Structure 1
Amino acid sequence: MGAGRLAAGVALVALERRLVRLRVLLLGALMLVCGGAAQAQDSGPPYPPVVPGKALVFPQDFGAHPAYRTEWWYITGWLRDAAGVERGFQLTFFRVRTRIGEDNPSRFAPRQLVLAHAAVADPATGRLRHAERSGRAYPGLVEALEGRTAVRVDDWFLEGGESPAAGYRSRIEAEDFGFELEFTPDRAPVPNGRDGYSQKAPDPLNASYYYSRPQLAVSGSLRLDGEPVAVSGHAWLDHEWSSEILPEGARGWDWIGINLGDGGGLMAFRMRDHEGRALWAAATTSTRDGSVRIHPPTEVRFEPLRRWRSPRTGIEYPVEWAVTVGERRYRLRPLMDDQELDSRASTGAIYWEGAVRLHEAGGGAGEGPELGRGYLEMTGYAERLRM
């Protein structure tokens, strides 16, 4: 966060969890297209605030919201091939309004940046495969369009969302992996918070507009080391936009998005302070028939159960958790412990993001039957996130 008081302490947990990993990449892109971003001046109007009472409208809100500071489309899920091998995958597209060159009529002005990140959790190798791309917005090549989901960085893309019932398509090609997938919804988008106004901290200014799409049916192909295989599975999509980032007192966050075996969905997060205590927490549970329950901070609790230390960085992460949401208590177990992503060489952040199983919590440290699968993201265990 640079000087440390960016946005006057107004937070957006999910915004920073995506953007912090892209800090160096963003600065490098700005310097490249601006000829020295350090000398560039903000030239546009202020970012609009996030306020309660603004209803989400579809399909319009499937698309980009270019006036806001940042937004992202974030897909996570589990894939299974014909041999029964299971893997996790993640795909994120980011849009960033720089407020640089907004009074410049040139199409080359870096008013908007689009960045992308993709990863596959591969138990066969015991590691994450991941790749990144970025560029300034330019029609037809690098863009995030309004009115529907259409984000692209060169030949990487995610598109769809022409209506609430319409599906999505994506294509990613990296050096040692790639995938071409289709995502089919079976229900309307699920708003998080108060009708899509998702508060992130005690101050109500700390908020985003946020909806999820659980239980997306997935089909397509996955390529690992040049070998394509047909895959199927289920995915989770988050779309969020705001003008704010991490507050002064926060160090990081823990977040889950889980597709439940009964057809429902569970999203939960907590913001942590420097002592590991919860600054704020919230959750959304939804059912197959479309009913939604919003859980306040008093109904959400994350408790670490088992830790894993990275042999590369020495950072210790709680890779198993007890999570309480409302009257239910769950246990999270990872697909594999080593789902740490070290992006210091490109984006400046180290964090853990990976595929997990959700179980009913048993007595003591035990566990009951598996209830669902999804993703866990943990940031700020190395050091406080900065931009």
Structure 2
Amino acid sequence: MSGSVSRRTFVGGALLLALKQGTAQAQGFAGLGMSGEGFAPVVAGKKLVFPGDHGPHPDFRIEWWYVTANLVDAAGAAYGAQWTLFRQAMAPGPQAEGWANQQIWMAHAAVTRADIHRFSETFARGGVGQAGVEATPFHAWIDAWQIRGREGMNSDAMSPLELNAEGADFAYALRLEADHALVLQGEDGYSVKSEQGQASYYYSQPYFKAAGRITIDGAPVKVTGKAWLDREWSSQPLAADQTGWDWLSLHFGSDEKLMLFRLRETNGRHFISGKWFSADGNGRTIAFSDIVMTPKAWTDVAGRRIPTGWDIAIPPLSLAISCAPLNPKCWMGTRFPYWEGPIRFSGSHSGVGYLEMTGY
């Protein structure tokens, strides 16, 4: 539709202007290493409070609501689904009304199976009702894409939820339910991202059971599986010399969970962090020195060489696994392009998860 295209062009252009077009590579992936001066700082010791922190934090420069799901159909064929809503502030200060509002919203949706990867992207301006998030009752939306809390939602578990999105050649509608409380990443939700002290507030719901429908090229299929929600906000989540990240969320067959990320620096060093969650929801922070993330297989996609296969070792957990993608061509050719897709892993442990890689 021409109206949607013109809005996408306008808002996408505004977002690029907000990130000082041409500086994104010098300031980390998508400009996330740019100075957060004027915006609220991320400080250690803040207590995250729900349901309030399910909502937006406009005093911070960037935040997102992020869901990934590993799914199977009745025949056992594997699928992946992604739903992401980003909020980016173009300038600090009190929130202006209407079209003068300084918030830009961007969303990505994707579905994957072994032979197909489909994605869509949309933009909206804050202040005019095209996109937003409400903490109570929980509702995150951009146009018709949405995550909504169902009646009786438990805010401490952020469950149950329903989410949906659609593109030109795919759609999905899923219900997510969890019987565990949310988990706090980092130290009580304070997640350090660099030796210079960049950080974010970060919590997750990795215990979702998912059920619903995926439609590809007009053919619907019922699916079930596991899903993971991440919530993160910051004013400068990367250091200026960090060019991107390699992030994994892993569901183990035992219902244990593992989050890992490696932030790549221009000097060839990496900042690595991880947290292990037991089946009952207890978390264990993993020391930087105890994590070994080694790329082992590469895929040529979109003119780039992407490390789509990884070996992960964490000796204190007696963990040594190899991760492989369901589809190595999971390139998100969006305004700020990246690779993201479902993976399987085996070795000392087995299971499924998601891998996201930016800045390549």
TM-score range normalised by the length of the shorter chain: 0.7 to 0.9
Distance (Å, rounded) in 2 between the aligned partners of 1:237 and 1:25: 30
Find the counterpart in structure 1 of residue 340 from structure 2: 353
Distance (Å, rounded) in 2 between the aligned partners of 1:195 and 1:359: 30
Q: Give the alignment partner of residue 82 of structure 2, picking from 86, 90, 100.
A: 90
Q: Give the alignment partner of residue 295 of structure 2, picking from 299, 304, 310.
A: 304
Question: Are residue 150 (structure 1) and residue 147 (structure 2) matched?
Answer: no
Q: CA RMSD in A?
A: 2.5
Find the counterpart in structure 1 of residue 103 from structure 2: 112
Find the counterpart in structure 1 of residue 256 from structure 2: 264
Find the counterpart in structure 2 of residue 18 from structure 1: none
Question: Post-superposition shift, 1:162?
Answer: 5.2
Percentage of identical aligned residues: 37
TM-score, length basis structure 1: 0.79
Q: How many residues align?
A: 330
Find the counterpart in structure 2 of residue 185 from structure 1: 178
**Stretches of structure 2 lacking an aligned partner (at least 5 in a row):** 1-7, 22-36
* Secondary structure at the counterpart of residue 61 of structure 1: helix
Instruction: Quickly say closer, same or farther: Cα 1:168–1:25, change in 2 above 3 A.
Output: farther
Please list the CA deviations of residues 117-162 of structure 1 after superposition, one character each: whole Å capped at 9, or x if unmatched: 0011122xx2310001111124653212245542111111112265
Find the counterpart in structure 2 of residue 164 from structure 1: 156
Instruction: Quickly say closer, same or farther: Cα 1:25–1:223, change in 2 above 3 A.
Output: farther
Select the structure with the greater relative contact order (CA < 8 A; seq sep ≥ 6). Answer: 1
Instruction: Quickly say closer, same or farther: Cα 1:188–1:101, change in 2 above 3 A.
Output: closer
Distance (Å, rounded) in 2 between the aligned partners of 1:190 and 1:148: 20
What pairs up with 1:1-387 in 2 under 5 angstroms? Answer: 27-29=12-14, 46-99=38-91, 102=94, 104=96, 106-123=97-114, 126-138=115-127, 140-147=129-136, 149-160=138-149, 163-165=155-157, 166-204=159-197, 206-274=198-266, 276-278=268-270, 280-310=271-301, 313-327=302-316, 328-343=319-334, 347=335, 349-360=336-347, 371-381=350-360
* Secondary structure at the counterpart of residue 51 of structure 1: coil
Instruction: Quickly say closer, same or farther: Cα 1:305–1:146, change in 2 above 3 A.
Output: same
Distance (Å, rounded) in 2 between the aligned partners of 1:317 and 1:31: 25
Q: Is the 8 A contact 2:38 2:92 kept in 1?
A: no
Question: Post-superposition shift, 1:87?
Answer: 0.8
Question: Post-superposition shift, 1:246?
Answer: 2.9
TM-score, length basis structure 2: 0.84
AA aligned opposite 1:255: W
Please list the CA deviations of residues 163-210 of structure 1 after superposition, one character each: whole Å capped at 9, or x if unmatched: 224311111121100011111112111111110000000122x00000
* Secondary structure at the counterpart of residue 108 of structure 1: helix
AA aligned opposite 1:372: G
Question: Post-superposition shift, 1:215?
Answer: 2.2
Question: Post-superposition shift, 1:100?
Answer: 7.1
* Secondary structure at the counterpart of residue 167 of structure 1: strand
Find the counterpart in structure 1 of residue 27 from structure 2: none
Find the counterpart in structure 1 of residue 3 from structure 2: none
Distance (Å, rounded) in 1 between the aligned partners of 2:52 and 2:251: 25
Instruction: Quickly say closer, same or farther: Cα 1:305–1:103, change in 2 above 3 A.
Output: closer
More strand by share: 2
Instruction: Quickly say closer, same or farther: Cα 1:196–1:30, change in 2 above 3 A.
Output: closer
Instruction: Quickly say closer, same or farther: Cα 1:75–1:30, change in 2 above 3 A.
Output: closer
Find the counterpart in structure 1 of residue 26 from structure 2: none
AA aligned opposite 2:184: P
Distance (Å, rounded) in 1 between the aligned partners of 2:286 and 2:95: 43
Q: Which segment is superposed worse, 173-182 or 57-66? A: 57-66
* Secondary structure at the counterpart of residue 75 of structure 1: strand
Instruction: Quickly say closer, same or farther: Cα 1:186–1:128, change in 2 above 3 A.
Output: same
Distance (Å, rounded) in 1 between the aligned partners of 2:330 and 2:267: 24
